[in-house]
Amino acid sequence: MSTKFEIRVILPFHLRTLARVEGDAWEGWCMGPSDLQAGETVTVVVRPEVIRIGRAAGERPEAGIAWRGVVRQRFFRGTRNLYTVDAAGVRLTVDAALDHPLAPGAEVGLDVNAVHTWTVRG
């Protein structure tokens, strides 16, 4: 993800910060540096292999992000499938196992736990 988002709430979490981030059509919890402040604009970074994808509605972990989306492309990559998904105004890349292939046009749920996210200023 490379779109800019605004931080709404900050909670201390060990030596880092758990930040409530708000996008245009989604909101969720993300990890960040300990000196992050409410109101800052950030980019949310999520690695493709930590996003869970399936036909069920995305269920946000206690602290994390959930989206609903539509599969736009699926690429077979040997032991993995690489998906392009449009979700909440953001195009996500998801690296998933082969066990339940999803066709382009399929409506899906996606979610990620906050510990697998990071916020970058600017």
Is pLDDT above 80 for 110? Answer: yes
Q: What is the DSSP string of 23-90?
A: -SS-EEEEEEETT--TT-EEEEEE-GGG-EEESSPP---SSEEEEEEEEEEEEEETTEEEEEEEETTE
CATH number of 4-121: 2.40.50.100
Sequence ranges of the domains in the chain: 4-121
CA atoms of 88 and 64, how far apart (whole Å): 15
Q: Which residues lie below 8 Å from residue 1, measured CB to CB, with a gap of 6+?
A: 43, 44, 45, 46, 90, 92
Which of the residue ranges 22-26, 59-63, 103-107 would you say has the lowest mean pLDDT?
59-63
Task: Give the chain's length.
Answer: 122
Distance, in Å, from the CA atom of 38 to the CA atom of 50, rounded to the nearest integer, reads: 26
Residue 121's SS3 state is strand
The pLDDT value recorded for residue 108 is 94
pLDDT of residue 13: 66
